[in-house]
C-alpha cells in the first residue's frame, strides 16, 4: 500500500513539473495572451444562446462539434491552438487545489478561464450527454470534454513521444483534489485514449469531428457489453 501511494505521488509530482514547464516556460507572453483570448472566445460561445439552441435541437454531440468548429475557425485553422484552448475552456473549474507532497500544504493553482459570469454560464451549457453509458443525471459527462481535448492536443502535438496520457492524469489528479470522485474513474482514462486517437487521426484528416470518435466509443461499448 505504501509503495502504491508513493508511486502515485511521484507520478503527480512529475506531471506537475512537466506541465509547469510546458505551459509556462514553453509559451511566450504573446502565445499566452493568444491562448487567453481563445479560451475567452470559446467560453463565450459555449455560454451563448446559440450553443444552447444547438444542444436543444440537435443534441450534445452536434453541440460539441459546433464548439470544435468555432475554436478551429477562431484560431484560423491552427488545430494545435484550438485543441489547447478547448481543454482549458471545457474544464469546469477555475482553480486547482493541489496538495504538495511531503510538506502537506495545499496550493491553489489558477487555470486560464473566462470571467466569473461567463464561466458559470459556460458550465451550465457544457455538453454532457456524450455516450450511451453517460450517467443519467444533471452532471452527466460534463468533465469528459477536458479529458478528450487535452489528450487530443498532446497527441496532435507529439511527433516523437506520445504524451497524450499526461493531460488525462493531470485532470484526474485535480478532480481527485476537488473530491469530485473518490477514486480514479476508468471511464476518464478510456476517454483519454479516444482523445489521443482523435489527435492522431486529426493530423491526417482535418475534416474529422469529435462526434465521430464519440460514436465509435459508444459502438465499442455496445459490442463489449451486449
Higher pLDDT, 92 or 129: 129
Confidence of residue 36 (pLDDT cuts 50, 70, 90): confident
- Reported as a single tens digit per residue, the pLDDT across 112-139 is 667 788 889 999 999 999 988 888 898 9
Instruction: Name residues whose C-beta falls within 8 Å of residue 129's C-beta, 6 or more positions apart in sequence.
Output: 59, 60, 140, 141
- The dihedrals phi and psi of 112, each to the nearest 5 degrees, come to -65, 120
Mean pLDDT of 154-166: 63
Q: Would you tell me the crossing angle of helices 144-157 and 186-202 to the nearest 10 degrees?
A: 40
pLDDT at 30: 52
For the chain, the average pLDDT equals: 76
pLDDT given for residue 220 in this prediction: 72
State pLDDT tens for residues 169-189.
555 554 554 444 445 567 778
Helix (H) or strand (E) holding 214: helix 210-225
Domains of the chain by residue range: 28-225
The residue written with cell numbers 508513493 in the block is: 6
Region of poorest pLDDT, from 103-117, 122-136, 197-211: 103-117
More confident residue, 39 or 184: 39
Percent of the chain with pLDDT over 70: 62
| Per-residue CA distances from 111 to 6, 20, 36, 92, 196 (Å) | 26, 12, 10, 10, 22
Give me the pLDDT at residue 44, please.
95
Q: Report CA torsion sign: 144, 147, 148, 149.
A: positive
- Between β-strands 95-100 and 105-110, what pairing exists: parallel, antiparallel or unpaired? antiparallel
Question: Rounded mean pLDDT of 8-31?
Answer: 46
Taking 70 as the threshold, does the pLDDT of residue 144 lie above it?
A: yes
- Per-residue confidence (pLDDT) for residue 2, from 0 to 100: 35
The CB density around residue 217, as the number of other CB atoms within 10 Å, is 19
Amino acid at each position: 500500500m505504501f509503495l502504491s501511494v508513493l508511486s502515485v505521488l511521484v507520478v503527480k509530482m512529475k506531471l506537475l513539473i512537466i506541465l509547469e514547464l510546458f505551459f509556462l516556460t514553453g509559451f511566450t507572453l504573446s502565445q499566452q495572451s493568444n491562448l487567453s483570448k481563445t479560451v475567452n472566445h470559446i467560453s463565450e460561445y459555449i455560454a451563448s444562446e446559440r450553443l444552447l439552441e444547438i444542444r436543444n435541437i440537435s443534441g450534445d454531440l452536434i453541440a460539441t462539434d459546433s464548439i470544435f468548429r468555432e475554436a478551429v475557425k477562431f484560431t484560423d485553422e491552427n488545430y494545435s491552438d484550438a485543441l489547447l484552448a478547448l481543454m482549458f475552456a471545457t474544464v469546469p473549474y477555475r482553480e486547482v487545489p493541489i496538495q504538495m507532497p511531503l510538506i502537506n500544504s495545499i496550493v491553489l493553482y489558477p487555470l486560464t478561464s473566462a470571467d466569473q459570469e461567463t464561466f458559470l454560464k459556460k458550465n451550465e451549457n457544457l455538453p454532457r450527454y456524450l455516450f450511451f453509458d453517460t450517467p443519467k443525471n444533471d452532471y452527466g459527462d460534463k468533465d469528459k470534454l477536458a479529458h478528450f481535448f487535452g489528450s487530443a492536443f498532446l497527441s496532435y502535438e507529439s511527433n516523437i513521444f506520445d504524451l497524450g496520457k499526461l493531460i488525462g492524469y493531470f485532470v484526474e489528479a485535480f478532480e481527485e483534489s476537488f473530491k469530485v470522485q473518490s477514486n480514479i474513474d476508468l471511464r476518464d482514462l478510456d476517454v483519454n485514449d479516444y482523445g489521443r486517437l482523435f489527435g492522431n487521426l486529426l493530423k491526417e484528416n482535418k475534416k474529422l469531428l469529435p462526434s465521430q470518435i464519440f460514436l465509435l466509443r459508444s459502438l465499442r461499448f455496445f459490442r463489449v457489453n451486449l
